[in-house]
Structures are given as C-alpha cells and as structure tokens.
C-alpha cells in the first residue's frame, strides 16, 4: 500500500497538517473568572445588582466614557440606542453593507428603514463618500461598523454627520479596547454599542454595553433597558430598599445579570493581556504571510490601535484555480477551523425588500468573494500559526495557476 503524499492537500488524499483540530476560536476563561462567578452565585443575588453596577463603573473608567449601561447583547444595545435617539417610522439609518444581521435588524425593529452603504478597503468600514451618497432628507442616524477590531474612518463619519445634524450610533461589537489617535472607541459618537459575546476580546458569554457622553441619553437608555421602570430591581429589593417604582415609558427587558457581569468584571481586569495575546498571533501571521503571492493581508489605518478580534486574509483568486469556498473546505480537511465575516446584508433574502435593485456594492462584493477569517485567540501558540500557514501554503501551491 502506497503511503499518502505529505505534499498533497488532505482534501486530495494527503496527510492533514494537524492531527487534532484547531478551532476558529477558543474562549480564554481562567480560575479567577470561575472564582468570581462562583462567588456571585453564592451571594444570593443573581440578576441586575451590585456586580453589574461595578462592571459599568469599571467599563466607563476603561473606555474614558461618562456613562456605560450594561445590557444582555449588542443587538439589544443597538436597538436601545436608536430608540433613545427617537428613531422610528419614516426615518432612515445608513449603515454598512458588510456587517452581521443584528446591525440591520436593530434598525428595522426600531421602525426605521435601513440604507446600506459600501465599504472601503483599508478598515473594511463604511466608505465616507458612500455615506454622503446615501444620505437623504429622511436620514436620521449613521450607524458605522468598527470591523474586526479597528476603528472605521470615524473622524470622517463624524464630520459628515455633524454638518447635517445626523446622529451617530457606533456598532463596536468587534472593537472593545480599540482606539483612534489615542481616543478609545466608545467616546466618539452619540452612543456606542459593544458586544461581550463568547468570541469577543472581553466576554460575558452573552452580553454587551452602551457608552455615551450624554447624561440625558444615559438616563433614557437605563429606563428603556429595564421595563421603563424608575427604580431597578436592586434598589427595590436590597436591604432598606424601596418596593416602590413607577413605569415612565413602555420599556424592554435588556438588562445584564450579575452572574454574567461577574465574568465580565474578571475579564476586564486582564483584557489588555488578552488583547496582547491576539496581537501576538496577528504579528506571527503577518510575518509569515506578508510576502505571499496568494494572500492579501488586511491593512491597519494610521492612528488605529487594532485589537484583532478578527484576522482576515483575502485570496488572490487570479492566482488560484479554486474559489474561496473550496479553499475553506480544503483548510477544514487539514483540521484548521476558519470562518467568513460576513455575508453581505444585501445577499440575505429577507433584506432584499429594503434594497433598490439599481444599487451596487463593488467593494463588498470583491471582499466577500475572497475573504477568509483565520483562527485567532489569546491562547494560540506560534506553532499553531505555523500549522495554519503550512496548510494555507500547501493548498495554494497545489491549486496555483502557474
């Protein structure tokens, strides 16, 4: 029996680069996280309470934000932000065509109409000239997306919005800890929404938060996030607390719980360490791939402090005989996990009703056809990166045009 050819891609019968699978992401939870969550479980107070308030204060301190409101998801955060700004039927909100569905469904749930804008090639955020192009008298808010861990061209977005009296709600689901020109994301627009989902740089498992510089908006966000009640459950049920509350608006149930906040508080204390781990992985990838004829690396805009939630490469398809989907299947055969961020919004069946058939998104289309998100998480080792790059090079060489 002939031994498998180690130079062949595994999908063609070769030996996989790895015996054990390397996942796209592995959470970084340590004993300190477990201890603080356990302490909260034993405290007798599990829902919105003192640990959540501690988390909010520490998040505000870290971001340099005046106000932070912890909520149960970034999806809820974006929705609440739009409601707090009074967005509703008859309004339009312009956002990126390259984003996760929740950015756009938040707009729809608020009763407004989503308007999609193409991205630019440096940060993969919304292109400023596209914002100008898509703005109409109905435009109430811009919702730019800070993609992958670096700030979009937020300075230009704010200039365009400010001159037209348009609000800015930032989707910073990927970019907790990122900054532009030394200023943290979360302190630029009217309101910023963050995600603490399992794969994020700081996680609570599920959850998120809102930040704002404006006390009036913060008060509205708190009211809307917890049933529209004038007093939260902690103030009502704590020792010597008051049972009395008033419902001022028909609010929602979007609050963070103390159990999740305990994990977030523990993670926040070492978030810079976790982010440094991601930066190491990104540097290892860049050093090995920067001269490749087959892969185009993402660029970091001058002034941006990138937190590397994602590490995206784009295939040079003109030099390969396979497409992006085939490349991903070949990587999977090598026991390498990866993903795609994202399927453009206009490609999803539901959202087509909101689109003008005459509109085109050429930068999004080019990006989507070629993008691959490689594994990146703080505990990845340099040897793991070597395996990923070996698999990529093996596949690319086998399927090379030349």
Distance CA 282, CA 289 (A): 10
Active-site choice (83, 133, 138, 200): 200
Closest CA to 126 of 329, 289, 344, 284: 344
Residues across the chain? 402
Token pair listed for 156: 């230009």
**Nearest Cα to Cα of residue 254 among 51, 75, 67:** 75
Task: Give the CA dihedral 267, 168, 300, 277, nearest 10 degrees.
Answer: 0
Q: What are the structure tokens assigned to 325, written together? A: 């989907």
Separation of alpha carbons 151 and 63, rounded Å: 14
Measured distance CA(134)–CA(139) in Å, rounded: 9
Please say if 200 is a catalytic residue.
yes
* Integer angstrom CA distances of residue 168 from 122, 139, 151, 154, 162: 21, 11, 14, 10, 9
What does the alpha-carbon distance between residue 97 and residue 326 come to, in Å, rounded to a whole number?
A: 24
DSSP 178-196: -EETTEETTSSSSEEEEE-
Question: What beta strand segments (E) does 280-402 contain?
Answer: 295-297, 304-305, 311-315, 371-374
Q: Which residues are catalytic?
A: 200
């Amino acid at each position: 029996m002939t031994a498998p050819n180690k130079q062949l891609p595994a999908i063609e019968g070769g030996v996989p680069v790895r015996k054990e699978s390397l996942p796209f992401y592995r959470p970084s939870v340590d004993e300190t996280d477990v201890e603080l969550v356990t302490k909260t479980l034993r405290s007798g107070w599990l829902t919105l309470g003192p640990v959540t308030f501690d988390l909010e204060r520490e998040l505000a301190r870290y971001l340099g934000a005046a106000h932070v409101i912890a909520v149960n998801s970034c999806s809820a955060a974006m929705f609440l932000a739009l409601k707090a700004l009074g967005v509703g039927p008859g309004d339009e909100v312009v956002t990126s065509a390259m984003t996760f569905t929740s950015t756009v469904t938040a707009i729809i749930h608020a009763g407004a109409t989503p308007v999609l804008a193409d991205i630019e090639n440096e940060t993969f955020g919304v292109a400023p000239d596209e914002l100008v192009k898509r703005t109409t008298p109905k435009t109430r808010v811009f919702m730019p997306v800070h993609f992958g861990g670096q700030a979009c061209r937020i300075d230009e977005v704010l200039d365009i919005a400010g001159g037209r009296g348009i609000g800015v709600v930032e989707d910073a689901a990927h970019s907790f800890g990122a900054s532009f020109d030394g200023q943290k994301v979360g302190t630029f627009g009217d309101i910023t929404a963050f995600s603490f989902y399992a794969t994020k740089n700081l996680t609570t498992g599920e959850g998120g938060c809102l930040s704002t510089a404006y006390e009036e908006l913060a008060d509205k966000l708190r009211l809307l996030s917890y049933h529209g009640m004038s007093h939260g459950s902690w103030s009502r049920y704590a020792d010597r607390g008051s049972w009395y509350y008033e419902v001022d608006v028909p609010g929602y149930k979007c609050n963070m719980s103390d159990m999740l906040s305990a994990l977030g508080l523990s993670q926040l204390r070492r978030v810079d360490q976790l982010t440094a781990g991601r930066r190491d992985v990104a540097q290892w990838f860049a050093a090995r791939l920067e001269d490749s004829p087959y892969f185009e690396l993402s660029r970091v805009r001058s002034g941006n402090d990138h937190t590397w939630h994602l590490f995206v490469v784009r295939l040079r398809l003109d030099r390969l005989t396979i497409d992006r989907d085939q490349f991903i299947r070949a990587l999977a055969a090598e026991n390498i996990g990866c993903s795609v961020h994202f399927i453009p919004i206009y490609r999803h069946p539901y959202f087509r009703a909101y689109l003008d058939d005459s509109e085109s998104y050429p930068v999004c289309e080019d990006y989507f056809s070629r993008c691959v998100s490689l594994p990146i998480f703080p505990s990845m080792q340099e040897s793991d990166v070597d395996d990923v790059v070996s698999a990529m090079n093996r596949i690319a060489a086998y399927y090379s045009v030349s």
